[in-house]
């Protein structure tokens, strides 16, 4: 191998190392597909509250609301884009979460909750 | 003049409620059968007010609130009836229940005399006052005096429901008075 090729190879290695240091220092993380199975999070409706009121999930996770009160409730998007319809005692409602969500109970308008999508 | 009259009516209603709570607090110890009776009567009174609202109001918020009152207070009554049936207790009429019914008669007359926006305001104002009075009675009289653990637990379950209704009624009240 000629000196030229040796130098070029060494220089290429140097460049790769430099690029690596740059990417690591700028917080770059290689895009890897999310292969984790979606998690189901449970929000219990109990004593006229959503518990937990604020929930953080990954995109694609499922939230399941379970009514444990003796009175009916619902889960309604804050701008009324969709609703679970009325959930009697022990009734459940599931939703796949793809974006941040603010919701309330349209029967008891002071009951509110939120789901935030966060990439872990 | 109308405003003065209205103020007088509200002052007398508030005095009646205060007197009722005071009466209940000074009343002889209520037994569990009497407490169960008070619970059913107090819930039924609010269902009856809500039915008047469903007949008279065209305001969607007032109607939605009234529908919730019917559903929730019926659910509480169902639980109370299931409990007394399980315990083999017959709800027993008493002075507190009679006092509540007497006030309800006067309030019903007042509500039925009002129309349109005046009705909505009168209904929602009464819901705020009524829920506050019932919450005070449940906290101050019914829970401390109930002997049966399941009856006490049911009253404790009813309390956050009543408090949520009060918050909802206050929210409706602030919108109506704007």
pLDDT in tens, A18-68: 555 555 555 555 544 556 789 999 999 999 999 999 999 999 999 999 999
CB within 8 Å: B167 and A106: no
- At residue B97, the pLDDT reads 95
Rounded (10°) CA dihedral A41, A42, A45, A51: -60
Question: In sequence order, what are the residues at sequence separation of 6 or more whose Cβ sits closer than 8 angstroms to the Cβ of residue A102?
Answer: A77, A78, A112, A113, A114
A80 vs B contacts (CB less than 8 Å): none
Pairing of strands A40-46, A62-67: parallel
Spell out which residues of chain B touch residue A108, defining contact as CB-CB under 8 Å.
Answer: 68, 164-165, 168
**Smallest Cα distance from A82 to chain B, Å:** 17
pLDDT at A24: 53
Cβ separation of B164 and A108 shorter than 8 Å?
Answer: yes
Q: Look at B161 and A69 and tell me if their CB atoms are within 8 Å.
A: yes
Phi-psi region of B139 (alpha: psi -120 to 50; beta: other; left: phi over 0): alpha
Task: Enter the ipTM.
Answer: 0.81
Q: What are the angstrom distances between the C-alpha of A112 and each of A52, A103, B94, B98? A: 10, 6, 39, 38
CA distance B65 to chain A (A): 7
- Interface size between A and B, measured as CB pairs under 8 A: 38
Q: How far apart are CA A78 and CA A104, in angstroms?
A: 6
Which residues in A lie closer than 8 A to residue B164 (C-beta atoms)?
48, 108, 110-111
Total-model pTM: 0.80
**What distance in Å separates residue B169's CA from the closest CA in chain A?**
10
Contacts of B132 (CB under 8 A, 6+ apart): B166
pLDDT mean over B65-83: 97
> Between β-strands A54-57 and A112-117, what pairing exists: parallel, antiparallel or unpaired?
parallel
Residues in chain A, total:
120
Maximum separation of any 2 CA atoms in chain A, in Å: 85
């Amino acid at each position: 191998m000629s000196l030229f090729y040796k130098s070029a190879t060494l220089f290429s290695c140097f460049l790769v190392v430099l690029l690596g240091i740059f990417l690591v220092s700028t917080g770059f993380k290689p895009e890897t597909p999310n292969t984790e199975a979606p998690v189901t999070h449970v929000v219990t409706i109990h004593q006229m509250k959503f518990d937990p009121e604020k929930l953080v999930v990954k995109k694609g996770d499922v939230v399941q609301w379970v009514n444990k009160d003796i009175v009916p409730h619902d889960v309604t998007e804050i701008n009324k884009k969709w609703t679970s319809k009325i959930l009697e005692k022990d009734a459940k409602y599931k939703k796949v979460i793809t974006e941040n969500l603010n919701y309330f109970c349209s029967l008891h308008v002071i009951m509110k909750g939120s789901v935030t999508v966060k990439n872990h | 003049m109308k405003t003065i009259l209205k103020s007088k009516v509200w002052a007398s209603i508030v005095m009646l409620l205060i007197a009722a709570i005071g009466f209940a607090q000074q009343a002889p110890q209520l037994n569990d059968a009497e407490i169960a009776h008070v619970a059913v009567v107090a819930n039924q009174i609010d269902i009856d007010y809500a039915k008047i609202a469903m007949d008279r109001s065209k305001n969607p918020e007032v109607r939605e609130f009234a529908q919730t009152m019917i559903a929730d207070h019926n659910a509480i009554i169902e639980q109370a009836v299931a409990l007394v049936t399980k315990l083999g207790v017959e709800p027993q009429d008493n002075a507190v229940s009679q006092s509540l019914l007497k006030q309800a008669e006067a309030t019903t007359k007042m509500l039925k005399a009002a129309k349109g926006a005046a009705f909505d305001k009168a209904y929602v104002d009464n819901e705020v006052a009524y829920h506050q009075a019932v919450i005070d009675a449940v906290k101050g009289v019914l829970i401390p005096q109930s002997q049966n653990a399941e009856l006490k637990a049911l009253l404790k379950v009813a309390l956050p429901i009543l408090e949520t209704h009060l918050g909802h009624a206050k929210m409706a009240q602030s919108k109506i008075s704007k």
